[in-house]
């Protein structure tokens, strides 16, 4: 069968690649056309569009790039019609994907959504569009099933979180080899995860680096995002004593003692690696003020949302400064705080539904695609 997949971010590329591998195992005739990144490319060749061209964060940034976004939507519709897939699989990225789903549903294409838009956080009114335009929804967070089914009477499939598989399948890193390869010394590692978008990195990394001089017994290592060139980071790292390692985030986390992490999927990845963390966020001031008024959540990190308590410290906007970051990093290097957090992390993994998310989703997709379309 023919699958058209749209992923617009680094996390979507990872989950899309694992889903494609699972689909190929269940459907020997699987044929893909996709928007994504390098990991999906390893499964099925060159993407139609790389997510580097698609990732715009915040209200102001979206407005600035509206013309490009509209061109991409128009192009995507034409490309889908030319490919004539048996199913379109949307992976998160709701601002773009829900627009394509509305059009695709009217055209009679099978519409399948993997990794729900976070409408439980904001824009809950999107449920009307989802119920109208999405044939099947596969959710990865435990509270999402109740949100959709009990609150909105829309049946969904809870498949577990694909990060558990992505992490469990990786080979164990040899600490000595890793340290030698990247010229690291024997001091414990504190990982810096400033995000994957240029806007994020620009706002986050300077403050993260400002505390490195205060912890001489540790070495700080920046996790470079696969979506960015090394040259981009030089403006932040040239006067820093931190080491830069591109595209090795999971290897780095597996050896880290603590981490400073930009809010997003990386907070959950860090939690699953059992690394104590401080969650950081600072956005465009206008975008933040707008978001603060419409997002109805107690927490911004996935760890705290899933556990429904403040297990990890969140430093948001003005709180994200050198003084408070230093204080909170000192806490998670303390043995007592670390022991408490490790217990929370074990609860976190248990809440996520175990292994096999990609395989479960692929099985449901293959079965659904063989059935008549819903009109």
* pLDDT beneath 50, residues of the chain: 374-375
- Is the full-model pTM beyond 0.85? no
Q: 35 by DSSP, 3-state: which? A: strand
In the chain, the domains with their CATH numbers are 2-160+356-369 (3.40.50.2000), 171-351 (3.40.50.2000)
Phi, psi of 191 (to 5 degrees): -85, 140
Please give the pLDDT value at position 371: 61
Dist. CA 363–CA 367, nearest whole Å: 6
The residues pairing with 139 across neighbouring beta strands, listed in sequence order, are: 158
Q: Where do the DSSP E strands lie in 125-249? A: 136-139, 157-158, 189-193, 219-224, 243-246
**Strands of the 277-281 sheet, one edge to the other:** 243-246, 219-224, 189-193, 256-262, 277-281, 313-316
Interacting residues of 138 by C-beta distance below 8 A, sequence separation 6+: 112, 113, 114, 115, 116, 156, 157, 159, 361, 364, 365
In contact, 79 and 303? CB cutoff 8 Å:
no
Give me the torsion for CA of 36, 37, 40, 41, rounded to 10°: 120
Please give the pLDDT value at position 228: 84
- 26-65 burial, b at 16+ Cβ within 10 Å, e below that, comes to ebeebebbbbbbbbbeebbeebbbbbbebbbbbbbbeeee
- Closest CA relative to residue 314, chosen from 291, 342, 280, 282: 280
The residues pairing with 244 across neighbouring beta strands, listed in sequence order, are: 222
322-332 vs 335-351: helix crossing angle, rounded to 10: 80
In eight-state DSSP terms, residue 262 is E
By the 10 Å C-beta count (0-12 exposed, 13-18 middle, 19+ buried), 371 is classed as exposed
Please give the pLDDT value at position 149: 97
CA–centroid distance for 194 within its chain: 13
Dist. CA 375–CA 269, nearest whole Å: 38
In contact, 12 and 96? CB cutoff 8 Å:
no
Dist. CA 48–CA 302, nearest whole Å: 30
In contact, 8 and 92? CB cutoff 8 Å:
yes
């Amino acid at each position: 069968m023919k699958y058209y997949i749209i992923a617009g971010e680094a996390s979507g590329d990872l989950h899309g690649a694992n889903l494609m591998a699972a689909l190929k195992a269940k459907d020997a005739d699987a044929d893909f056309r996709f928007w994504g990144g390098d990991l999906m490319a390893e499964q099925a060749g060159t993407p139609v569009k790389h997510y580097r061209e698609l990732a715009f964060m915040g209200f102001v940034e979206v407005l600035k790039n509206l013309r490009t976004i509209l061109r991409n939507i128009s192009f995507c519709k034409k490309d889908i019609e030319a490919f004539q897939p048996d199913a379109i699989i949307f992976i998160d990225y709701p601002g773009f994907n829900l627009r394509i789903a509305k059009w695709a549903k009217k055209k009679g294409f099978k519409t399948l959504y993997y990794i729900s838009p976070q409408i439980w956080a904001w824009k809950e009114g999107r449920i009307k569009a989802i119920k109208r335009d999405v044939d099947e929804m596969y959710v990865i967070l435990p509270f999402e099933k109740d949100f959709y089914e009990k609150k909105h009477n829309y049946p969904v499939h809870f498949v577990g979180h694909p990060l558990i598989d992505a992490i469990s399948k990786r080979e164990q890193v040899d600490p000595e080899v890793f340290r030698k390869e990247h010229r690291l010394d024997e001091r414990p590692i504190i990982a810096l995860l400033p995000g994957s978008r240029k806007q994020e990195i620009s706002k986050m990394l300077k403050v993260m680096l400002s505390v490195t001089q205060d912890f001489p017994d540790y070495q700080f290592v920046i996790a470079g995002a696969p979506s960015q060139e090394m040259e981009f980071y030089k403006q932040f790292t040239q006067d820093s004593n931190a080491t830069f390692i591109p595209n090795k985030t999971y290897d780095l986390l597996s050896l880290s003692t603590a981490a400073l992490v930009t809010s997003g999927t990386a907070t959950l990845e860090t939690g699953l690696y059992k690394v104590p963390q401080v969650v950081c966020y600072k956005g465009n001031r206008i975008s933040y003020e707008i978001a603060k008024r419409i997002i109805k959540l107690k927490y911004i990190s996935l760890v705290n949302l899933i556990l429904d308590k403040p297990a990890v410290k969140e430093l948001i906007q003005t709180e994200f400064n050198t003084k408070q970051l230093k204080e909170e990093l000192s806490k998670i290097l303390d043995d007592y705080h670390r022991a408490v957090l490790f217990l929370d992390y074990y609860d976190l993994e248990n809440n996520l539904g175990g292994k096999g998310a990609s395989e479960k989703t692929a099985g449901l997709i293959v079965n659904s695609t063989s059935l008549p379309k819903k009109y």
